[in-house]
């Protein structure tokens, strides 16, 4: 009974904090004196510390045991080993569309690329130490109160985590979140990039101390309003993170129908303990969408991609540190890659190198030119053969790795069509293949197509050799794909 009352009180305190935080963030949009803003910030910072202190006491109570599920496999784990070729010419026909239509457009919140939160006010008399974090070719400096690095977990039971969390509060560990947030904004990292930066930072603060790293990372994420928890399994602590999107091949637990993915030294079998209530202010998933291209590094790769099409050579170089960043990105839903912002310099290269192939062409002619480039300009290889696992590509990665497969080509083709031609594109997701369909405005081209809200979308397969606009392999004529509207 006492435990339940404590949970209710904690929830109420957190809700009050969240409400006041919303009011204060709204007030910030108005023109107010700096002294008033600083005063309110200090008041809210003290209130946040009181919430954290109450939360530390809650952590002392017995955690709940949850089943740790193996990571869900990619939905397209089986694909053609060889690049498919068109096996038939088909008549004008409407393909089956009785599967679900998925909307992968970015929401207004995702487009902002920034989560608003109240950073703690700076405390002048706290001695701080600056840490240098190596982050994909960048040297970042983040300051932290000196005593935080000297804190130790005495064990991994509830009381140990609670005691350590309370010490983080008492030593003002959240003083570094303003620096972390500034780095995120400067580099356009997005939520996942911030999470990755926090992991790099905590590893520098607590080298070879994985348990402290896990708890400190969750503490920082919670302070920045992200929904993360500490989990205990066997003899170690791990991070549990709500991403909002489906991740593949990463173990997870389900708490109140929400998936929390486990990061750290995670066994893929067994059970895990964690607390079953979260601070109400920490309510934001770590969003995987990239509304802006991260500004990471700038060193171009040593090897350029080149291909000659219709007597004209095209050439691309990619940002190597950005490729390293993408290489560590978790595998997630296809719409994340299709909607991800392209690096500005690379987008300009696409415009420069590919525009000549579509200029002066009819709509169908321009699409066929891009299809020919996609079908012949890359080596086809399944992810299992190239990487030993499934790996979806962001657009730029197609020009970095030796080969690609169907979903990578579909995402890149869709982006080039929207950039160069301005047409609407959807992805057609089969169990073993991904293709596209394009809406050609003001024209009813013949061939395989589908209808979405009264508009005709023509099938365009950027992988199947020889497939022009409207061509569909016999294998997929009686299959109904999921339709991802971008």
What confidence tens digit (pLDDT) does each residue in 225-247 have?
999 999 999 889 999 999 999 99
> Mean per-residue pLDDT for 384-411?
96
- The model's pLDDT over 288-335, given as tens digits with 9 standing for 90+, comes to 999 999 999 778 988 999 999 889 999 999 999 999 999 999 999 999
The Cα 466–Cα 443 span in angstroms is 22
Do 227 and 330 belong to one domain?
A: no
Residues 6+ positions from 208 with CB-CB distance below 8 Å: none
Whether residue 258 sits in one domain with residue 193: yes
In a domain, 288, yes or no: no
The span from the CA of 289 to the CA of 337, in Å, is 8
| Cα–Cα distance measured from residue 95 to residue 449, given in angstroms and rounded to the nearest whole number | 6
- Of 239, 274, 309, at which residue does a domain stop? 274
In a domain, 175, yes or no: yes
Cross-strand partners of 484: 102, 427
Q: What is the pLDDT of residues 196-223, one digit of tens each?
A: 999 999 999 999 999 999 999 999 999 9
Residues 186 and 248 in one domain: yes
52 sits in the region (left: phi over 0; alpha: psi -120 to 50; else beta) called alpha
- What percent of the chain shows pLDDT beyond 90? 66
Q: Are residues 368 and 251 in the same domain?
A: no
Q: What's the pLDDT score for residue 36?
A: 47
Instruction: Of 344, 346, 347, 369, give the one whose Cα is nearest residue 356.
Output: 369
Same domain, 335 and 262: no
Say if residue 46 is in the same domain as residue 99: no
Q: How confident is the model at residue 87 (pLDDT cuts 50, 70, 90)?
A: confident
State the average pLDDT for the chain. Answer: 86
Whether residue 97 sits in one domain with residue 61: no
Host domain of residue 156: 2-72+124-274
282 in a structural domain: no
Question: Average pLDDT of 255-269?
Answer: 89
pLDDT at residue 2 greater than cutoff 50: no
Query: What pTM was computed for the model?
Result: 0.86
Q: Please count the structural domains in the chain.
A: 2
Q: Residue 51 — very low, low, confident or very high, per pLDDT cuts 50/70/90?
A: low
Distance CA 192, CA 168 (A): 23
**Residue 294, domain member (yes or no):** no
Tell me: the pLDDT tens digits for 99-146?
A: 667 666 555 545 555 556 656 766 767 899 999 999 999 999 999 999
State the CATH number of the domain containing residue 418.
3.10.620
310 and 246 part of one domain: no
In a domain, 291, yes or no: no
465 part of a folded domain = yes
Specify if 440 maps to a domain: yes
């Amino acid at each position: 009974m006492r435990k339940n009352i404590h949970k209710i009180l904690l929830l109420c305190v957190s809700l009050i904090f969240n409400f006041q935080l919303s009011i204060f963030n709204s007030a910030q949009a108005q023109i107010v004196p700096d002294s008033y803003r600083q005063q309110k910030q200090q008041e809210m910072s003290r209130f946040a510390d009181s919430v954290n202190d109450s939360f530390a006491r809650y952590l002392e109570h017995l955690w709940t045991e949850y089943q740790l599920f193996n990571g869900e496999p990619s939905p397209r784990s089986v694909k053609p080993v060889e690049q498919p070729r068109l096996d038939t010419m088909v008549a004008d026909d409407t393909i089956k569309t009785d599967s679900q239509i998925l909307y992968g457009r970015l929401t207004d919140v995702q487009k902002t690329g920034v989560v608003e939160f109240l950073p703690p006010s700076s405390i002048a008399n706290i001695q701080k130490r600056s840490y240098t974090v190596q982050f994909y070719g960048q040297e970042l400096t983040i300051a932290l109160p000196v005593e935080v690095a000297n804190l130790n977990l005495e064990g991994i039971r509830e009381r140990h985590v609670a005691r350590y969390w309370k010490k983080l509060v008492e030593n003002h560990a959240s003083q570094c979140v303003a620096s972390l947030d500034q780095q995120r904004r400067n580099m356009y990292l997005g939520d996942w990039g911030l999470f990755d930066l926090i992991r790099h930072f905590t590893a520098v603060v607590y080298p070879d101390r994985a348990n402290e790293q896990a708890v400190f990372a969750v503490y920082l994420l919670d302070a920045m309003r992200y929904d993360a928890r500490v989990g205990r399994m066997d003899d170690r602590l791990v991070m549990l993170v709500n991403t909002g999107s489906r991740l593949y091949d990463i173990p997870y637990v389900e708490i109140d129908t929400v998936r929390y993915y486990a990061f750290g030294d995670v066994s893929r079998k067994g059970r895990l303990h964690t607390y079953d209530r979260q601070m109400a202010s920490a309510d934001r998933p770590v969003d995987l969408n990239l509304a802006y291209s991260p500004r990471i590094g700038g060193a171009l790769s040593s090897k350029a991609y080149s291909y000659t099409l219709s007597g004209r050579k095209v050439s691309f170089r990619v940002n190597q540190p950005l490729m390293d960043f993408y290489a560590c990105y978790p595998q997630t839903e296809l719409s994340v890659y299709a909607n991800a912002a392209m690096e500005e310099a690379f987008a300009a290269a696409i415009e420069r190198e590919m525009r000549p192939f579509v200029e002066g062409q009819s709509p169908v002619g321009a699409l066929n030119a891009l299809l020919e480039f996609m079908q012949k300009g890359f080596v086809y290889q399944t992810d299992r053969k190239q990487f030993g696992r499934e790996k979806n590509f962001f657009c730029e990665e197609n020009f970095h790795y030796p080969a690609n497969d169907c979903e990578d080509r579909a995402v890149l083709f869709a982006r080039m069509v929207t950039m160069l031609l301005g047409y609407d594109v959807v992805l057609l997701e089969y169990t073993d293949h991904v293709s596209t369909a394009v809406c050609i405005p003001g024209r009813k081209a013949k061939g395989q197509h589908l209808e979405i809200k009264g508009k005709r979308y023509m099938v365009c397969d950027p992988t199947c050799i020889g497939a022009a606009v409207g061509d569909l392999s016999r294998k997929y004529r009686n299959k109904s794909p999921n339709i991802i509207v971008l």
